[in-house]
Amino acid sequence: MKRRWPKVFLFVLMTGAAIAALVWWLMQPKPVTVLVAQVSKGTVQDSVANTRAGTVKACRRSGLSPSIGGQIVHMPIREGDRVKAGQVLLEFWNDDLTAQLLLAQRKTRAAEAKANQACIQAETALRESRRLQELHKKKLASAEVTDKAVGEARAAQAACQAARVNVEVSQAQIDVAEAALERTRLVAPFDGVAAQVNGEIGEFVTPSPIGVPTPPAVDLIDDSCIYVSAPMDEVDAAKIRVQMPAKISLDAYGDRVFDGKVRRIAPYVLDREKQARTVEVEADFNDPQETKNMLAGYSADIEIILAQKQDALRVPTEAVLEGNKVLVLGAENLLHEQPIETGLDNWQYTEVLSGLREGQKVVVSVDRDGVKDGALVKIENQDR
């Protein structure tokens, strides 16, 4: 028989080599899938944003309530109605006050008639006294009759003046009656939208007791002028100035961003329990036409541009690690940590003053497991 052990040996040797190769391959580090971005040039901004959601507000908004109590007899508006300045929004029962006004008006007419009568009599007496004075000069009238006529003319003039003053008193009584009647009506002080209406015809309304706030009868909003108010951290607020450019975003408008500018910075700090101290900052929209369909009360955010550079070398801010370092994609898809010097930055981009060159690629998915200095990676995308 022929001996076959060399073939067995060869088989064992080949199997062992295959197993060794498999073990070596399994022990090799697996590449980590990462997202990268290219170092490029573009606009970089230094900005700050609000700490909590802001609010779209109207330039004028009034919670209107009557100054007296009464029963509603006329309420011509409903929530959502547009009203004009001077339009009656609510009216109480006021028949008694209307009657008093009518009485005052008629008394004034009577006083005017008496004043006319008195003044006509005064003019007649004055002419008579002058005629007698001329006759007295010609010795055709006695001094006694002449003096009496002059005295009666002066008395008639005084009666005329008193009657005219009485007309003024009567007119003042009309003003008082009109003012009392006006208090029973709630009138729009400006054009706007009735955002809230509390009350129905037949209901009794009473003024709010001192120190006890109650809902207004009509919440009137002037939506022709819209702005955004948002709280800024007290540290960031110190850097903000009026007229600085701003970017305004609203949840209701998705990813759309509106250009604006800072209109006001509150001169005080709000200290609310269990919350950071903040300063209210207001921003206007640059184009009022863009606010036509906006509603007061929308949530909004403000990003205020403190400084800006054009054509600056930049990387996505999410690529920058603590200590101003980035993970750069090197040869054979190996990562290496690179310190950089930074300049302006915001949530989107960070300016690179030194440490990188244009065209290099840095990792932006730095929070993935295994992403570290020296790691072997596989690129999920080429650029962003």
| Residue 20, H or E segment | helix 5-27
Contact 81, 219 (CB under 8 A): no
The 3-state DSSP class for residue 161 equals: helix
Place of tokens 């008394």: 107
- Listed residue (122, 120, 109) closest to 166, CA to CA: 109
Q: Say what the alpha-carbon torsion angle 44, 45, 50, 54 is, to the nearest 10 degrees.
A: -90
Please state which architecture CATH assigns to domain 29-44+310-379: Beta Barrel (2.40)
CATH tag for 49-59+225-308 (out of 3.40.190.100, 3.40.50.1110, 2.40.30.170, 2.20.25.90): 2.40.30.170
The structure tokens listed for 312 are 């600056």
Question: What secondary structure letter does DSSP report for 256?
Answer: -
β-bridge partners, 264: 282
Distance CA 12, CA 19 (A): 11
β-bridge partners, 300: 54, 250
Question: How do the pLDDT tens digits run along the chain, 384 residues long?
Answer: 445 556 666 666 677 666 666 555 555 567 788 888 999 999 998 888 988 889 999 988 888 888 888 889 999 989 889 999 999 999 999 999 999 999 999 999 999 999 999 999 989 988 988 888 888 888 888 888 888 888 988 998 999 999 999 999 999 999 999 999 999 999 999 998 898 888 888 888 887 777 667 788 898 988 888 999 999 988 888 899 999 999 999 999 988 999 999 999 999 888 776 667 889 999 999 998 888 888 888 999 999 999 989 999 999 999 999 889 999 988 878 888 999 999 998 888 999 999 999 999 998 988 888 888 888 878 886 555
User: Which one-letter amino acid corresponds to residue 289?
Assistant: Q
Give the number of other Cβ atoms within 10 Å of residue 109's Cβ. 10
Domain ranges of the chain: 29-44+310-379, 49-59+225-308, 94-183
